[in-house]
Amino acid sequence: MSYLILIRHGQSTWNLENRFTGWVDVDLTENGKLEAKKAGDLIKKSNIQIDYYYSSLQLRANHTLKIIQKSLNDEKKFVRSWKLNERHYGGLTGLNKAEMSKKLGEEKVHQFRRSWDLRPDPLDRNSKFHPLNIDTYKSMSINEIPDTESLKDTYERVINFYNTDIKNKIDNRNILISAHGNSIRALCKYLFKLDEKQISKLEIPTGNPLLIEIDENENINNCNYLDQDRSKDLLIF
């Protein structure tokens, strides 16, 4: 039996400001740090020993993972990959979601946020919010850095990384992935075989570990959020 734990980072500064964050590298709020600490305590209480840790290149996910590891008294190095990054919101990056709903209409903004293959307009490469201009991504090839992404684009890079770097390590071992709302939604679509309509409805709470139990035949036996007070409808079990 193996366990896969998926956790969206704790509340970030731009979550609090209700802004489209995407690849902008913001940190956790004090509340986000508390969410991460509680997540670590809940994982510790479950008595599950983590064999491998993974995260994106982004500070909020890395910081969440480090707080969790501190709770677990575990200093293992973790693997960081841009393929686990949040979805790139293109020209919407940095904008306030509520203000954009007033400007474009709630339905249009909802389409940008939740449609499967609709990309927002590309972000100007001269923008300070473009990954080309953020130190976090200086080690990446220019060809790997997008100007905008759909959820489908995000899904393809996340699942490529999962299949090549993570899946083969699950056999009787436990893995924790600290990532983002859309990269975790992509993983859930793949793992639970959700269709495009189902994935559009899936909400991922910040700082709440999703514990997935996987048997030796790679079947999912059970899954649940460890913080039941802040659990979301998984649309599955």
For residues 205 and 154, what is the distance between their CA atoms, to the nearest angstrom? 18
Q: Are strands 52-55 and 2-8 parallel, antiparallel or unpaired?
A: unpaired
Contacts 24+ apart (CB under 8 A), 217-221: 218/170, 220/191, 220/192, 221/1
For residues 87 and 124, what is the distance between their CA atoms, to the nearest angstrom? 16
Kind and range of the H or E element at 221?
strand 220-225
For residues 70 and 41, what is the distance between their CA atoms, to the nearest angstrom? 10
110 is catalytic: no
86 is catalytic: yes
For residues 237 and 234, what is the distance between their CA atoms, to the nearest angstrom? 7
From the list 63, 86, 149, 180, the catalytic residue is 86
List of E strands, 25-103 = 52-55, 79-80
The answer to whether 93 and 24 have CB atoms below 8 angstroms apart is yes
Closest CA to 116 of 200, 54, 49: 200
Residues belonging to the active site: 9, 86
